[in-house]
Every structure is written in structure tokens, then in C-alpha cells.
Chain A
Amino acid sequence: MSTLRQRSPVSYALAMPAALWMLGALVVPTLFIVWVSFWASRSFSLGSPLALINYAKFFQRPAYVKVLLDTFQQTLILMAITLVLGYCIAYFAVVQVRRPHWKLGLFLVLVIPFWTSALIRTIAWIPFLGVTGVINQALLFLGVVGQPVGAFLYSRTGITLAQVSFYTLLATGPVVYVLRNIPVSLREAAQCLGATPARVFWRITVPLTLPGVVIGQILVFLNVMADFATASAIGGNKHAYLGNIVVLLYDSGQLPFASVMAVLLMLCMLGGVAVLLKVVDIRRLGIP
């Protein structure tokens, strides 16, 4: 018994504002994007005939297809890096840090940057990456290189460096959540039965944390696929992903073609999530 009767009419009224908000500001606009992407006329006109011409135009231009492939490639690179890095951090924070004070402190220093503006954090990377930037000065000082490396700012390396620092926590978080739910006794039991630590890790810990890993990877996938700000700030318009093309086309007033990009981006994201969900049954999450 709660303050509402089961299936009481009041519950529909309470759900209505949130549902209407999501429908009006998310679902309907998405459907509109799909509709506009089929407009055959170049400009903005409601009575435009519908056709597949915009999609044909996309796939006929190798430059655009390359952007699509680049976006995927960048996303896969980020997923690989954040998977390993994120897991190491999560494992260290949950399993190997024992004292509660250290745990709390570590949690705070990991999470606080996450609560600040991603845009500001992107800008903060600039003094690091330039030819006279911090990284180059450090490398020169250490004698690793003889002259400044120009490969950081306006490059994929720079974009990747910044993105790894933004998105690793998305991969760490869900793994931390799942790791904490695994009873220590499970690992201890395996060790008592003579399993080596490596075997305990691969046979007990990894399979049980898999749902967390997959959720983290979904978050990284979704964020990197749609990330355009990092590429445009650090890549300096020399590197474009699908999101950057949407911005470019929107600014030049080509709404139907921008919509095509948007629809393709959404389809890629839906497909990616579907594939990731095939790997593991998310509904098992939280049941160790």
C-alpha cells in the first residue's frame, strides 16, 4: 500500500507532465527530423515533395562517407582506451583501496571534474597541446624530442587525448557500481579452493562485471559518436565528425541535408547500442 492506489487515475495525471514533455521536446522533434530529411527541395518549404534524393547525395560523395567512417573509427579507438583505463581505475578504487577515507577522497577527485563544464575543460586543453604548449615543453625538457612536435593541436592525437580525459569516467562508473555489488566472499571462496589471483580475476570478477563494462561502453559510444565540440575546438575545423557536418549544414541553411546527417547519426547510434546489448543481458545488472 502506498499513497497511491494501484493503477489509480491519479497516477496517470502524475505521469502526464513528464510524458508530455518528453514527447513534445524529444519524440516529436525527432520525427520531424526524419520527415525533413526526405524533403526533395533544397530550401525550407513545408509542401516539398518527398524523395530519397538527399540520402543518395550523401552516399555518392566519398568525402561524406569518409566522415561517417572516421566517426566510427574515432569511437572505436575511444572505446578501446576507456575500456582498459576505466576498468583499471574502477578495480583499483573498489578492490584495492581499503580505507574508507581514501575511498571517499579518491571518489571525489575522480568525480569533481565531471561536474564542471565540458566546454571549459576542452578549452583548458589548448595551452597543453600547442607547439609552445605544456606537453611540448615537458618533452623538450626531458630530452625526449629535439624540437617541438606539431602533432598535438589541430590533430586526431589532440582530440583523442582530450576525449579520453572526458569520457573515461563514463566507463569507470558502471564498473564501480557492479564491482561493489560482488560479495568479497566469492573471490575468497575461489582462492580457498586453490585458484590463483589471475584465475580468480578472469573466471569470477570479469564475468560478473561484464554488464557494467557494457553499460560503460554504451555511454562512451553514444557520447563520442555525437561529440562535435571537442573536434571543432581542438581539431580547428581540420577534422570533422558527423556532428560537425550537421552544424556546418545547419549554419549554411541546408536543413534537409543536415537532417540526413542527423538521421544517419541516430541510426548508427541505435545500431551500435543494439550490438552492445547483444553482448550481454543488461537485465542481469545488480544480481550478482
Chain B
Amino acid sequence: MMHWRTRQKLVKGALGAVTVLFLAYQWLPMLVMALLSFTGPDGGPTFPMRGVSLHWYRELLRVQMVDDFKPPMLRSLLLALACSVTTAALSLAAVQAMRARFRASGLFFYLILLGVMAPGLLVGFGVAVVARILGIQLAWYTTTFAVHVVWTLPFGFLTLLAVFNRFDRRLEEAALTLRANRWTTFWRVTFPLVLPGVIGAGLFGFTLSYDEFARSLFSTGAEQTLPLVIFAQFDRQLQPTLYAIGTATTVVSLVTIMCFSLLFRMVRRRTRTGAPGAA
């Protein structure tokens, strides 16, 4: 029988090894993809690499008829921005409403959570069917937009619910007691305090929409978004161009997350210094 301390160390070592192996397992494919995107002009989609070059990135920038990734990327970015703003605004309104405990608020809560539960493919499918029956033209800025917000809204909503759970109501009460009206109190006291949460909701809106594939598949018309174009290209032929676009769009995602977290920190710092003792 081992001493329990030795055994505990063994368990810790084993769990640590599992975690590290899992991390390698998760990161290696992406790193290898990034590495292979720099292969030479004669290189293929697997090892060995044939030289090192920016050939496949240059290939991306060159205008092509079929494989031009630039317009779809622009569409995806615009769509993600629209989803970001919509998610932030709708979830803030929805959470404010929840706080007033209106009559159907329990049902309302589950209605919004449905967006997370519903399988993406089927939501897109449903909207495509409805559009066909009603004679609505499918387009990334109408139907796809609608479907993406169904997906992103619950995340923003839950984020803001959590923020308001920790919210100090006395600050609002103080403002109201000092005879600010409800409108002023909301915009001058409540909103600045929950702004970091609103930014978080916006981040969810952006990243979830930017990468979304399943929901876009049926709901997008002829002008496709980036994930759709990537998948179509992948279906035709696996080229290092795909690794280049994959690496590029991953960098865009990471830069966006960094921008949002910088914004988040800035706002939080300003709130803290602007209202001493509030935090």
C-alpha cells in the first residue's frame, strides 16, 4: 500500500499529462495547418513541405473568378458586425424586461434559450422552407442575419443576466431618490455600469456569427459568406490556399477577440475610476 501522498502525486501527474496531451491534440492541427500554408508553390496539402514561401497567400490576394475569398470575407465581417450590434441591443432590452418580472418572463426566458438548443442546420432549413413558401429571396443580409441572431442572442442574454445578478441595485435607488427620472438613471447609472457586459454580448455576436457554417448553409442565397465558400472550395479540391485562408481567418478571429477584450478593460477601468467605490 502506497502512502496516500505518493498516490495523490501520481493522480496529479496523470491528470496533468492528460491535460497537456489534450492541449497538444487540440493545438497541433491548427499549428500544422499554419505551417503548411507557408509551403512552396509546388507544395501539396500534406508533408513534406516543399520550401517556404508566401505563394499561397499571394494566390489569395490575386483576383480570381471562382475562388475569390475577398468579397465573402467582407460579407462575413459585415454580417458579424450587424449580429454583434443586434445581439448587444436586443439582449440588453430583454434583460431589462426580465428585471421588471413581467407576466410571461419565465416563458420568455425559455424562448430565448431555445436558440442554443435548436440544431443550427435545422434552423437554417426551417427559414429556407418558410422563405420559399412566402416567396422571400434568400440573402446573407436578411435570412442568414435572422438565423445568426437566433444563435447569438441567447449567449448575449445569458451574459447580461449574469452581469445583472451581481449588479448593485442600491446605485439605481440612490439616483432615483436624488430625483433623477428612470430614463436618466438608466443611461447615466445603469448603462455605464453594465457596459462591459454589453461589450461581452457584442463579442459573442461577432465571433459566433463570423464562423457560423451550419446555419448559413441553407439560409444564404447566391452571395455566400466565407465559411460557405471555404467549404465549397474544400469539397472541390484541397489546396494549400485553404490553409492560407484558414490561417488568415483564424488570425482575424483572434485579433477581434483581442480588440474586444482591450475595449472591455478600457471601459471597466473608466467605470471604476469614474465612480469611486462603485466597484
A26 touches B129 (CB 8 A): no
Among A56-64, A72-80, A84-92, A204-212, the stretch in contact with B: A84-92
Among B58-66, B67-75, B98-106, B266-274, the stretch in contact with A: B98-106
CA A54 to CA B134, docked complex, whole Å: 23
Interface digits, A96-133 against B, CB 8 Å rule (1 contact, 0 not)?
10000000001001101101111111011111101011
A119 touches B231 (CB 8 A): yes
B153 neighbours in A (Cβ, 8 Å): 18, 21-22
CA A133 to CA B48, docked complex, whole Å: 10
B161 at the interface (CB under 8 A from A): no
B4 touches A196 (CB 8 A): yes
B29 touches A255 (CB 8 A): no
Given A8-B100, A26-B114, A117-B250, is A15 in contact with B108 using a C-beta cutoff of 8 Å?
yes
A150 neighbours in B (Cβ, 8 Å): none
Residue of A nearest to B27 (CB): A113
B97 touches A14 (CB 8 A): yes
Given A18-B157, A168-B22, A262-B125, is A233 in contact with B100 using a C-beta cutoff of 8 Å?
no
B230 at the interface (CB under 8 A from A): yes
A36 neighbours in B (Cβ, 8 Å): 129
A213 neighbours in B (Cβ, 8 Å): none
B93 touches A22 (CB 8 A): no
Q: Summarize B's interface: helix, strand, loop or mixed.
A: helix
Nearest CB on B from A221, distance (A): 11
Residue of B nearest to A137 (CB): B47
Q: How many residues belonging to B are interface residues under a CB distance threshold of 8 Å?
A: 91
Interface set, chain B 111-126, CB cutoff 8 A to A? 111-112, 114-115, 117-123, 125-126
CA A184 to CA B146, docked complex, whole Å: 45
B223 at the interface (CB under 8 A from A): no
B169 neighbours in A (Cβ, 8 Å): 1-2
Interface digits, B30-43 against A, CB 8 Å rule (1 contact, 0 not)?
10110010000000
A149 at the interface (CB under 8 A from B): no
A226 touches B29 (CB 8 A): no
Which of A2, A46, A96, A121 meets B15, CB within 8 Å?
Answer: A96
Nearest CB on A from B255, distance (A): 11
B19 touches A1 (CB 8 A): no
Interface digits, A243-276 against B, CB 8 Å rule (1 contact, 0 not)?
1001100100001001100100110010001000
B265 at the interface (CB under 8 A from A): no
B19 touches A88 (CB 8 A): yes
B207 neighbours in A (Cβ, 8 Å): 115
Nearest CB on A from B216, distance (A): 10
B172 touches A89 (CB 8 A): no
B211 neighbours in A (Cβ, 8 Å): 116-120
B246 at the interface (CB under 8 A from A): yes
B100 touches A5 (CB 8 A): yes
B102 touches A7 (CB 8 A): yes
Which of A3, A26, A197 meets B7, CB within 8 Å?
Answer: A197
Q: Summarize A's interface: helix, strand, loop or mixed.
A: helix
B8 neighbours in A (Cβ, 8 Å): 197
Which of B46, B91, B129 meets A255, CB within 8 Å?
Answer: B129
Residue of B nearest to A89 (CB): B19
Which of B18, B46, B118, B132 meets A130, CB within 8 Å?
Answer: B46
Given A15-B108, A115-B257, A137-B47, is A120 in contact with B218 using a C-beta cutoff of 8 Å?
no
A202 at the interface (CB under 8 A from B): no
B122 touches A228 (CB 8 A): no
Nearest CB on A from B237, distance (A): 12
A28 touches B176 (CB 8 A): no
Which of B25, B121, B172 meets A228, CB within 8 Å?
Answer: B121
**Told that A2-B99, A96-B15, A132-B47 touch, could you supply 19 new A-B pairs with CB distance under 8 A?**
A3-B172, A14-B97, A22-B112, A22-B153, A25-B127, A29-B125, A33-B122, A88-B18, A96-B16, A115-B253, A116-B254, A133-B46, A137-B47, A196-B4, A197-B7, A247-B217, A250-B125, A259-B129, A269-B117
Binding site for B on A (CB under 8 A): 1-8, 10-12, 14-15, 17-19, 21-30, 32-33, 36, 44, 46, 85, 88-89, 91-93, 96, 106, 109-110, 112-113, 115-121, 123-128, 130, 132-134, 137, 165, 168, 196-197, 222, 225-226, 228-229, 233, 243, 246-247, 250, 255, 258-259, 262, 265-266, 269, 273
Binding site for A on B (CB under 8 A): 4, 7-8, 11-12, 15-16, 18-19, 22-23, 25-30, 32-33, 36, 45-47, 90-91, 93-94, 96-103, 105, 108, 111-112, 114-115, 117-123, 125-130, 132-133, 146-147, 149-150, 153, 157, 169, 172-173, 176, 182-183, 185-186, 190, 207, 210-211, 213-214, 217-218, 227, 230-231, 234, 238, 242-243, 246, 249-250, 253-254, 257
28 contacts between A and B (CB under 8 A): A4-B182, A10-B100, A11-B101, A15-B108, A17-B94, A21-B149, A22-B115, A26-B114, A26-B126, A29-B125, A30-B122, A32-B129, A88-B19, A89-B15, A106-B19, A116-B30, A119-B230, A120-B246, A123-B230, A127-B47, A128-B29, A196-B4, A222-B119, A226-B122, A228-B214, A250-B125, A250-B128, A262-B125
